[in-house]
Structure 1
Amino acid sequence: MILHELISYDVLRLIWWALLGVLLIGFALTDGFDLGTGTLLPFVAHSDVERRVVINTIGPVWEGNQVWLILGGGAIFAAWPQLYAVSFSGFYLAMFAILVALILRPVAFKFRSKREEPAWRSRWDWALFVGGFVPALIFGVAMGNVLQGVPFRIEDDMQIFYDGSFFGLLNPYALLAGLVSVAMLVMHGAAWLQLKTSGTVAERARRFGIVAALLTTVLYAVAGVLLAYFVTGYAITGSIDTSGASNPLLKNAVPQGGAWFANYATHPALWVVPALGLAGPVIAALCLAMRRPLAALLAGGVGIAGIVASVGVSMFPFILPSSVNPSASLTVWDSSSSHLTLFIMLVSTVIFMPIILAYTSWVFSVLRGKVDPEAIQDGKGHAY
């Protein structure tokens, strides 16, 4: 038997669908508090020392956290090439906006303290705000559009055409999903700041975090109700070969109201996923109110994982539905790379993922503790 045939094609596809979700959740949990902290920067820190305190909570770790975004993009490219082709071309301007915002962040870190003029530093502080707020918003907007279906079609020769526009992505439901994303990452960033700072900055972050956590639950609940009653989902009609060729045109699919809740009806245990998305932020708000930042960070992380995972669980087996031609929608079973490619990638993941996790844990262990304002004023011990 050939080695890669030890794991069947359909099982490998399912594993990589789950791993893609893990990578997206990993990005939301790690780089998420960086984005939330950047969004909060102008509001929780007023003096230059306070802003430097906030910046130094994420300055040493943001690069490592962003590895999860790179891993997610690489996994999409290698494991789901058609998903990569549609999303990165159809969402080109949105992706460009995200990249510009993410590029602003390291530039702001490096240049902010090169000059002492308040106006100079203020401009870079607002650049850090943009670098946090814009990606948080657009990632959520993208998820909102995925749930509604994306206007792409696949011709018989497998050419992919995107029929939408950038401003078409900014529809009401997608913007609501964007607000969910912003609120949950601000909640996460606020918990991080309460954990890593003290005094006035921590107190301001606590207040913003409580509001953001409660907003996360409310907005997520509203988005769920609208998804159930007003957003059209998609369903596969007939059978589909789970180990067949990666050709989305070999199946039939149709729009269907309430389709995104069919998996919950079939498997009621799945309700635990959105339940975590609702309960986690509420518990985080309570922990913030009680000044338990580590518990708030963990509870908020559970809520974020539930919210992100609920998108995949609701849509399964769809990965990217087409609103133009539902039968061309990309699913777990017909848009992956080859059996051998998925197996080689899985072996690589089994080897390198524990190394990444171990290194990340070590870094956070070394950098534990609060950022000291006195050390910043003395110019010792902090880089930014």
Structure 2
Amino acid sequence: MILDYETLKLIWWLLMGVLLIGFALTDGFDMGVGILLPFIGHTDEERRIMINTVGPHWEGNQVWLVTAGGALFAAWPLVYAMAFSGFYLAMMLTLFALFLRPVGFDYRSKLDNSRWRSSWDWGLFVGSVVPPIIFGVAFGNLLLGVPFYFDDMMRPNYTGGFLQLLNPFALLSGVVSLLMIVMHGSVWLQIRTLDSLEWRATQVAKASSVALLIAFALAGLWVSFGMDGYVVSAMPAANSSFTPDMKEVTTQVGGWLLNYQQYPWMILAPAFAFLGMIGVYLFSHLSRPGMAFISSAVTLTGIILTAGFSMFPFVMPSSDAVNHSLTMWDATSSLLTLKIMFWVAIVMVPIIICYSFWTYRRMWRRIDVNFIRGNQHSTY
């Protein structure tokens, strides 16, 4: 099988999307459970039920995030370098928040003490709520453009600051991301719990789906009429990597919508996102949690694809020097690196997906108070 350089660049753009969607679909619901833990779990036993719905899987789910980070470093080194320069403090906050998750899961039930367990519940909340907000804020800033440029020796220079990231549109994007995760986690609890806990999760799913629909629509209107989008007006004849300053880029209001005019099929992404939100509300109301979960997965997939399709081919636009914006064509690694990574992914990603499905199938059951009481020392 012979793959040319341009095809491999496109394949790795698609694979990065697959990794981000896999992370959102799997780690999304266990983070959603962590966010809801202090609020809809009214007793210690109910909170243990919630934790144990994700207990066998949360560590494996986080592998998607690690894999996405590794793939970003290997496939788009310029983007990785600039992201860790510009978003360094935000990434450190995310990392330190994630530290609370493993210790929270492992230490919470070590002592039968209400203050001890409540403290770890809030630790799990912080470790679950901070990452989705920061990821959403980061994506919002990507759509606005990141303040960086390359000097004459192609050294990246970031000119912004942490507080600059907290602009109104980025905060709205953070709200969209948070609502996605809350909705996904609440739908997960619908299919894994019983009685009053299931009922409360259903109410949260209905409310969060409506709130997400409104927030996503507002973000879409803002992108359409309230900000400049980036457009590649001219590419160099030799479209090689590590030459982000060789192209010509312009900005215009509604520029992020041009791909939907050129490729009309892309409109399916936001359409499915909205249909998924409506499906979550209707199926939750009709007590069809399985269909509600599928609808939630469609919503998350649609929102992530909407962001990717809107920005294509940009990966990290520059607000300081628009011609230095990074795209999937000029920010990638060498041909040999992409080829090696491609074959590794072809072998390993299907194995990971199949193994993940097998583990969920083997450990699938609804968890109730009787399960917790009968397994006091073997559950979280």
Indicate the TM-score class for this superposition, using the shorter chain for normalisation: over 0.9
TM-score (norm 1): 0.97
The whole-number CA distance in structure 2 between the counterparts of 1:375 and 1:302 is 31
Q: 148, 153, 172: which is aligned to 2:168?
A: 172
Residue 175 of structure 1 aligns to which amino acid in structure 2?
Answer: L
| Mapped pair 1:303 → 2:304 | no
The whole-number CA distance in structure 1 between the counterparts of 2:197 and 2:46 is 7
Residue 231 of structure 1 aligns to which amino acid in structure 2?
Answer: M
The whole-number CA distance in structure 2 between the counterparts of 1:344 and 1:242 is 23
Q: Deviations over 1:188-212 (max 9, x none)?
A: 0001001111011111011011111
| Mapped pair 1:377 → 2:373 | yes
TM-score (norm 2): 0.98
Give the Å deviation of 1:372. Answer: 2.8
| Mapped pair 1:15 → 2:3 | no
The whole-number CA distance in structure 2 between the counterparts of 1:215 and 1:122 is 28
Q: 209, 231, 235: which is aligned to 1:235?
A: 231
Contact kept in structure 1, 2:209 and 2:278, CA below 8 Å: yes
Q: 55, 68, 89: which is aligned to 1:72?
A: 68
Q: How does 1:203-282 map to 2 (within 5 A)?
A: 203-241=199-237, 243-282=239-278
Runs of 5+ unmatched residues, structure 2:
none
Residue 59 of structure 2 aligns to which amino acid in structure 1?
Answer: E
| Mapped pair 1:288 → 2:284 | yes
RMSD, aligned CA: 1.2
When residues 372 and 241 of structure 1 are mapped into structure 2, their CA distance, relative to the original with a 3 A threshold, is farther
Give the Å deviation of 1:379. Answer: 3.2
| Mapped pair 1:358 → 2:346 | no
Contact kept in structure 2, 1:197 and 1:370, CA below 8 Å: yes
- Residue 250 of structure 1 aligns to a residue whose secondary structure is coil
Q: 337, 342, 346: which is aligned to 1:341?
A: 337
The alignment-based identity, stated in percent, is: 46
Runs of 5+ unmatched residues, structure 1:
none
The whole-number CA distance in structure 1 between the counterparts of 2:315 and 2:145 is 10
The whole-number CA distance in structure 2 between the counterparts of 1:38 and 1:323 is 36
| Mapped pair 1:124 → 2:120 | yes
Residue 168 of structure 2 aligns to which amino acid in structure 1?
Answer: P
| Mapped pair 1:54 → 2:59 | no
Give the paired residue count. Answer: 380
Q: How does 1:192-211 map to 2 (within 5 A)?
A: 192-211=188-207
- Residue 245 of structure 2 aligns to a residue whose secondary structure is helix
- Residue 248 of structure 1 aligns to a residue whose secondary structure is coil
Give the Å deviation of 1:380. Answer: 4.7
Residue 223 of structure 2 aligns to which amino acid in structure 1?
Answer: L
Give the Å deviation of 1:375. Answer: 2.3
Q: Deviations over 1:5-47 (max 9, x none)?
A: x211111000000110110011000000011111111111010
- Residue 315 of structure 2 aligns to a residue whose secondary structure is strand
Residue 359 of structure 1 aligns to which amino acid in structure 2?
Answer: Y
